[in-house]
Structure 1
Amino acid sequence: MVAIIRPERLRISTPGAPRSTDADQRQSVIGTVADTVYAGPLRKYHVQAGTRMLTVREHVASGQQVYSPGDQVRVDWLRSDVRFVTL
């Protein structure tokens, strides 16, 4: 079995950012931005977290922090967003 999470369900922030009110329902990892891709109304980050590469997809909005390759970030997700599939 493999755990999967849809890229739009991942949330990216700085490692020291305040945790959300639902932090007890979330899991997170610290990683480094490897690449940033702009695709119209979406921004996609590739984040290296240990031996895994995570893809975070978010809608572009004014006032959002933009991360660059080399930036250290926290990626978090709701536990309920994890799905398990058999390969």
Structure 2
Amino acid sequence: MVRMNKYRSYKGKIGKVATNILARDFKAAKSNEKWVTDVTEAGERLNLSTILDLFNGEIIAYNIESRPVYPRFQNAG
């Protein structure tokens, strides 16, 4: 009897992992104290990159691109 190996898609660490500075504390005591960023894919061809202030939920900056290019996301702010 031959058993198939279980499929595992995880290949190990890829790239650089950022430190967890917020430690799930998403409340800010003052404006511009904590900013977060996110990249969202909309449909097939749009990527929305936002920078959000956690104090009042205000969007500080955003960028919409047709493809995810990392240096362009750095320029959202």
The TM-score with structure 1 as length reference comes to 0.29
Larger RCO (alpha carbons 8 Å, 6+ apart) = 1
The TM-score with structure 2 as length reference comes to 0.31
Larger Rg: 2
More strand by proportion, 1 or 2? 1
